[in-house]
Structure 1
Amino acid sequence: MAILSTPFRLFFTAAAAATSLLPSAFALQTLDLSQDFPVGNTDNPDAAAIEAMIDPSIYRLLVIDDGTIVMEYQADSVRDDDEAFHIHSATKPWSRLLIGMIIESPKYNLSMDDKLGDIFLEESAWELVTDETEREIKENITIYEMMTMTDGLMENWEAHPYFGENLAEWLEYYVINGTEKDSLVDIGNIFGVDIDTSDYRETSFIYLILENILSYVVREVTGMTPLDFASKEVFPFLGIDPEKPGFLWRPDWNGTQLFGSGMYLTARQMAKLPQLYLQKGYAAPDQSLVSDDFINASLSPISYSNFGQSSVGMLWWLLGDKDNDPDFPAMVVDPSLPGKIWCGSGMGGQQACLNHETGRVVVVQRNETIPSSQFSLTGAKESDILVIAAMSTDRSFTMSVVDASKSKENGGSDAEEEKEESEPMVGADDPMKEESGAAILGSMAAAVAVGGAALVAAIL
Structure 2
Amino acid sequence: MMQLYALRRCVLLAFLLLLTSFSCDKGDAIIVPEQGFDWPDNERPYWPTTGWESAFPESKGIDLQKLNVAHDFAQNDELMRALLVVKEGYLVDEKYYREGGPDASTNLWSVTKSVASAVLGIAKEEGAFSSTDQLMGELLPDYPEFNDISLHHALTHTTGLHWNEEGPGWVAWVFSDDWVAAALERGQNHPAGKRFYYSSGNSQFLTALIYYRTGQGPGILAKEKLFDPMGIDFNPLSTPHDYTTWNDYMIPLPQSWQQSPRGIEIGGFGLFLTARDMAKIGYLYLNQGRWEDRYLINPDWIKKSLKDHETNIYGQYSYGYHWWLTNLAGEAAFLASGFGGQIIGVVPALDLVVVLKYEAENPRHPK
Structure 1 residues 309 and 268: alpha-carbon distance in aligned structure 2, compared to 1, 3 A threshold: closer
Is 1:149 equivalent to 2:170 in the alignment? Answer: no
The SS at the match of 2:221 is helix
Is 1:114 equivalent to 2:134 in the alignment? Answer: yes
In structure 2, what is the equivalent of residue 20 of structure 1?
35
The SS at the match of 2:272 is strand
Q: Distance in 2 between matches of 1:83 and 1:99?
A: 26
How far off is 1:45 after superposition?
4.3
1:270-289 Cα shifts (integer Å, max 9, x gaps): 111111111111011x1101
In structure 2, what is the equivalent of residue 354 of structure 1?
346
Opposite residue 323 of structure 2, the aligned amino acid is W
Which aligned pairs between 1:414-453 and structure 2 lie closer than 5 A? Answer: none
In structure 2, what is the equivalent of residue 38 of structure 1?
53
1:192-242 Cα shifts (integer Å, max 9, x gaps): 7331344xx323211103441211100111101110111111111121121
Aligned residues: CA RMSD? 3.0
The SS at the match of 1:193 is coil
How far off is 1:70 after superposition?
0.5
Q: Which structure has the higher relative contact order (CA within 8 Å, separation 6+)?
A: 2
How far off is 1:260 after superposition?
1.2
Structure 1 residues 197 and 203: alpha-carbon distance in aligned structure 2, compared to 1, 3 A threshold: closer
Structure 1 residues 156 and 69: alpha-carbon distance in aligned structure 2, compared to 1, 3 A threshold: closer
Question: TM-score of the superposition, structure 1-length normalised?
Answer: 0.61
Larger Rg: 1
In structure 1, what is the equivalent of residue 249 of structure 2?
none
Indicate if the aligned counterparts of 1:82 and 1:246 stay in contact, CA closer than 8 A. Answer: no
Q: Percent of pairs identical after alignment?
A: 24
How far off is 1:366 after superposition?
0.6
Opposite residue 175 of structure 2, the aligned amino acid is G
How far off is 1:306 after superposition?
9.5
Gap runs ≥5 in structure 1: 1-16, 127-134, 164-169, 322-336, 372-456
Which of 175, 194, 197 lines up with 2:187 in the alignment?
Answer: 194
How far off is 1:297 after superposition?
1.7
In structure 2, what is the equivalent of residue 50 of structure 1?
70
How far off is 1:370 after superposition?
9.3
In structure 2, what is the equivalent of residue 376 of structure 1?
none
Indicate if the aligned counterparts of 2:340 and 2:361 stay in contact, CA closer than 8 A. Answer: yes
In structure 1, what is the equivalent of residue 209 of structure 2?
217
The SS at the match of 2:282 is helix
Aligned residues: 308
1:4-38 Cα shifts (integer Å, max 9, x gaps): xxxxxxxxxxxxx94424223x5454343422111
Q: Distance in 2 between matches of 1:99 and 1:255?
A: 17
Which aligned pairs between 1:174-189 and structure 2 lie closer than 5 A? Answer: 177-180=174-177, 182=178, 185-189=180-184
How far off is 1:302 after superposition?
2.1
Indicate if the aligned counterparts of 2:53 and 2:91 stay in contact, CA closer than 8 A. Answer: yes
In structure 2, what is the equivalent of residue 93 of structure 1?
114
The SS at the match of 2:94 is strand
Query: Which of the pair is proportionally richer in strand?
Result: 2
Indicate if the aligned counterparts of 2:102 and 2:276 stay in contact, CA closer than 8 A. Answer: no
In structure 2, what is the equivalent of residue 8 of structure 1?
none
Structure 1 residues 242 and 301: alpha-carbon distance in aligned structure 2, compared to 1, 3 A threshold: same
Gap runs ≥5 in structure 2: 1-31, 59-63, 237-252
Which of 332, 338, 346 lines up with 1:340 in the alignment?
Answer: 332
Indicate if the aligned counterparts of 2:129 and 2:139 stay in contact, CA closer than 8 A. Answer: no
The SS at the match of 1:49 is helix
In structure 2, what is the equivalent of residue 430 of structure 1?
none
Q: Distance in 2 between matches of 1:306 and 1:274?
A: 22
In structure 1, what is the equivalent of residue 289 of structure 2?
281
Structure 1 residues 306 and 144: alpha-carbon distance in aligned structure 2, compared to 1, 3 A threshold: same
How far off is 1:254 after superposition?
1.1
Indicate if the aligned counterparts of 1:338 and 1:355 stay in contact, CA closer than 8 A. Answer: no
Q: Distance in 2 between matches of 1:298 and 1:140?
A: 21
Structure 1 residues 51 and 99: alpha-carbon distance in aligned structure 2, compared to 1, 3 A threshold: same
